[in-house]
Structure formats: structure tokens, C-alpha cells
Amino acid sequence: KSKEDRHIYITFAQNHFESDIRQNTLEQDLSYAQKKNELEVYYQPKLNIQKNVYNFEALLRWNHPKFGMILPNEFIPIAERNQSITSIGRWVLKQVCKDFQAFQEINKNISIAVNISPVQLNDPRFVQQIKEAVLEYSIEPKAIELEITENDLLNLDSAQKQFEELSYEGFSIVLDDFGTSYSSLNYLKELSVQKIKIDKSFIMNMDYYQKDYQIVQMIIKLAKNLDLEVTAEGVEKWKHIEMLSKMDCTEIQGYYLSKPLPLQDMLEKLKDNTMN
Ligand code: C2E
Ligand code: CA
Ligand code: CA
Ligand code: CA
């Protein structure tokens, strides 16, 4: 090997080594994060274009004492692997129920979406816990949306029953990241859902790429024919909003409206009406 090749190899190995160390550290620290109050729920608005009201999605953040803020794409997969997502998910749900009242004081009709990992569905107490949480805080189930990511961790058989019961109770079930899994259409066919959320990978460049535009248009048409609501995430430009409202999209979400913010900041923005 040339000297340069060796250098490249060593750098590569080092980077892998470092990221393994970080992963292991995070996995250990995550078991204390909840107790040490390091987890925080941020909120991002979603604008219902037809009703002209803002709803919100709860997005988890981890304020790590050493690494600073860590985003969920890094630690949720770890939590899914070691099952701690079950207790983290329960904490998020409880936090959202606590925060809900502050939103409702500003607007009675607000709903909040919570992300649910498919791994949480493996817990037989899952449905019961959600029902108890909203009961404890006197929240109507229809004000809570449950966003479930369609990926290979999602077990159709167990999801089917739980979605049916949750829909019956009045919760709104959303198929998240729609279009990104190998079996999107099969999930749509087999599961009882009220809404689909088109993944941002299709939205972000739909003003450049005819293919993306056509796919988005097709998904919105499909949703409409199935009498489902449809959200577009990753809306970063006015142009996207223009295109999406022509296509009869129900709801939009993205940096164009606002990034996810801590509770107090989001409440102020909502009160002052300073969203885009
Ligand atoms: P997601 O549910 O698909 O959420 C959308 C992600 O896209 C969020 O990233 C959001 O901040 C980001 N985003 C929103 N608008 C835009 C935009 O206009 N442009 C771009 N480039 N990005 C945008 P975030 O907050 O880092 O969350 C990542 C993923 O982590 C979420 O993807 C969700 O799958 C998962 N997640 C977040 N919170 C929770 C949670 O409490 N429980 C579980 N199980 N998963 C969570
Ligand atoms: Ca989501
Ligand atoms: Ca997504
Ligand atoms: Ca996702």
C-alpha cells in the first residue's frame, strides 16, 4: 500500500472507532437521561391549509451534558435496539399531555402529534397507557395524533389490532415517512389510518424534479380517493406551498413555517402570530 492509502485507511478506522465509542457512551448515558432531566420535547407547527389552523408535532431532543444537543436520528435507533424506547416513549407522551393545556389556552382546537416507534407497539400495555394518559389530563383523544413510521420494525399483525382500538377510541393514526419503505402501499392497505405524511425527501426538491413532483401529486390523489388526510413535511419554500395547495394537500409542515422550538418559544410565536 502507498503511504497515502495507509493514511486514508487509518483515518477511516479512527473515525469508525470514534463513532463506536460515542455510540457506546450514548447508550450508557441514555439510561440516565430521563432521570437526570436531559430529555426535552420541542414543537414544530403544521398548518392545516383548509382550516387555517396550526397543529403541532412533538419532537424529542436530548440535552447531553458533554456533547450538547443530540438529535433523535442519532439516539432513537439506540433506544429501539435496547428497548429503552418503551419508557422514553411513555415519558414523551406524558410530557405532551402536560404541555397540551398551554396550547389549548391559546386555541381550543389545537391537536398535537406524537411520534411512536414501531417498537413501542410490542409492549402489550401500550394502548392502555395512551388511554390512561389522556384520561388523566382530560384530553379528548381526537386532539392527539399518533405518527407511526413505516419501516421494517413495524409488525403488521400486532399493529392492525392496536390501530383499530386506538382509532375506535378516537385517536388519529398517521402513517409517517410515507413512501420510504419497501411496503408503503401494503401498510396503507392493511392498517386503519386516518392520515398519511409524505416524507420530506419527496417534497424538498419537488420544484426542481419532475419525478418528485409527480410522486407527490400521485400520493395526494391517492389519499383523497381513500378519504384520508395528507400532510407534506419538509416544506422549505413558498413555491412548495403554492404547488401543494393546488394539489389539495391538507396540511403542510417545514422550516418555511418554523423549525422545531422549545415549548415556551413556540407558545410565544403562536400567541404573537409570528409564524410565516
Ligand atoms: P419525522 O417524524 O419524520 O420528523 C421530521 C423531521 O424533519 C424532524 O427532525 C424535523 O425537525 C425535520 N424537519 C421538519 N421540517 C423540515 C424541513 O423543512 N427541512 C428539513 N430538512 N427537515 C425538516 P428531528 O426532529 O431531528 O427528528 C427526526 C426523527 O426522529 C423524526 O422524523 C422521528 O422519526 C424521530 N423522532 C423524533 N421525536 C421522536 C419521539 O418522541 N419518539 C420517536 N419514537 N421518534 C421520534
Ligand atoms: Ca413524525
Ligand atoms: Ca419524515
Ligand atoms: Ca421518521
pLDDT at 6: 73
CA dihedral 184, 190, 192, 197 (to 10 degrees): 0
Model confidence over 7-53: pLDDT tens digits?
Answer: 777 777 777 777 889 999 999 999 999 999 999 999 999 999 988 89
Q: Ligand nearest 234 Cα, by number? A: 1
How many other CB atoms are there within 10 angstroms of residue 183's CB atom? 14
Question: Residue type for 182, please?
Answer: Y
**Cα 148 from Cα 132, distance rounded (Å):** 20
How many other CB atoms are there within 10 angstroms of residue 39's CB atom? 18
* Mean pLDDT of the chain, nearest integer: 93
Q: How far is the CA of 255 from the centre of ligand 2 (A)?
A: 14
| Residue among 88, 119, 233, 253 to mutate when testing ligand 1 (max atoms within 8 A of CB) | 233
pLDDT at 1: 60
Reported pTM: 0.94
Model confidence over 70-99: pLDDT tens digits?
Answer: 999 999 999 999 999 999 999 999 999 999
Model confidence over 94-107: pLDDT tens digits?
Answer: 999 999 999 999 99
What is the rounded average pLDDT of the residues 251-276?
Answer: 94
Residues with CB under 6 A from ligand 1: 44, 59-60, 71-73, 76, 89, 92, 115-117, 147, 149, 176-177, 200, 233-236, 253-255, 260
| Residue among 42, 94, 115 to mutate when testing ligand 1 (max atoms within 8 A of CB) | 115
Model confidence over 144-157: pLDDT tens digits?
Answer: 999 999 887 888 88
What is the rounded average pLDDT of the residues 207-218?
Answer: 97
Burial environment of residue 140 by CB neighbours within 10 A (0 to 12, 13 to 18, 19 or more): exposed
